[in-house]
């Protein structure tokens, strides 16, 4: 069983699909819970895990909810993200996927989603998962451990659809980093969709409407 505490929104009707949604750095699983009703997925269970708390180097070593340590603000650094904490917490996300499968939900009825740092980990786990998922939603995020992708990517998710959404004015995760992740997945053969929005490092209503449509296509 996963060690992660989580916020769960149970489906209104029969449980036939699941969305596992990872929050951003310093946030919590409560962040996206309020939007569930507007997504109109009555047969979908939404799981919002809380990241473990750990010291984060770029925030002066302060302890906060984080999916992995970020060592520098330099996007060009090969050692920007801490590989040890990425791989450790990726296993906790894998445990969440297995838990939903044990509930009787086929893997191809599970969407793995995340915002910012959570989106980066969702993409990392999703492309490496040995069972085909329904899709991935990568929101205001980027690719981590990209040098390992060719050796570690699983064939099972080489054709899994991926939704990328990003603010074109994002001052936390530059839009070019989101585009780089998109380009890598397109090159790998995944059917990808890119949506840029006139916003910063956030989620707006236009984006949520597209998420709703995309989820309904993927799960209903």
pLDDT in tens, the chain (220 residues): 458 999 999 999 999 999 999 999 999 999 999 999 999 999 999 999 999 999 999 999 999 999 999 999 888 887 899 999 999 999 999 999 999 999 999 999 999 999 999 999 999 999 999 999 999 999 999 999 999 999 999 999 999 999 999 999 999 999 999 999 999 999 999 999 999 999 999 999 999 999 999 999 999 7
Q: Residue 128: which residues within 8 A CB-CB, separation 6 or more?
A: 90, 152, 153, 154, 157
Reported as half-sphere exposure (CB side, CA atoms, 13 A), residue 77 has a value of 10
Spatial separation of the C-alpha atoms in residues 215 and 27, rounded to whole Å: 23
Active-site residue, from 17, 116, 124, 140: 116
Q: Two tokens at 220?
A: 């209903």
* Residues, the chain: 220
Helix (H, G, I), strand (E, B) or coil at 108: helix
Catalytic residue check, 116: yes
Active-site residue, from 31, 69, 82, 170: 170
Spatial separation of the C-alpha atoms in residues 134 and 160, rounded to whole Å: 7
Whether CATH 3.40.50.2000 fits 6-219: no
Q: Two tokens at 178?
A: 């989101």
Catalytic residue check, 77: no
Helix (H, G, I), strand (E, B) or coil at 58: helix
Query: In the chain, what are the domain boundaries?
Result: 6-219
């Amino acid at each position: 069983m996963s060690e992660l505490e989580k916020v769960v929104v149970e489906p209104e009707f029969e449980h036939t699909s699941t969305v596992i949604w990872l929050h951003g750095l310093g946030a919590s699983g409560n962040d996206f819970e309020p939007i569930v009703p507007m997504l109109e997925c009555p047969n979908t269970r939404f799981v919002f895990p809380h990241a473990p708390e750990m010291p984060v180097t770029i925030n002066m070593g302060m302890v906060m909810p984080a999916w992995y340590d970020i060592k520098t603000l330099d996007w060009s650094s090969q050692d920007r993200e801490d590989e040890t904490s990425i791989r450790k917490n990726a296993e906790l996300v894998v445990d969440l996927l297995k838990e939903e499968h044990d509930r009787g939900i086929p893997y191809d009825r599970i969407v793995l989603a995340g915002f910012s740092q959570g989106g980066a980990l969702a993409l990392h786990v999703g492309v490496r998962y040995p069972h085909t998922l329904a899709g991935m939603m990568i929101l205001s995020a980027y690719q981590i451990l990209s040098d390992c992708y060719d050796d570690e990517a699983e064939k099972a998710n080489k054709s899994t659809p991926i939704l990328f959404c990003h603010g074109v004015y994002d001052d936390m995760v530059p839009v070019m980093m989101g585009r780089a992740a998109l380009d890598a997945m397109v090159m790998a053969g995944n059917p990808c969709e890119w949506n840029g929005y006139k916003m910063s490092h956030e989620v707006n209503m236009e984006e949520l409407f597209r998420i709703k449509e995309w989820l309904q296509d993927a799960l209903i």
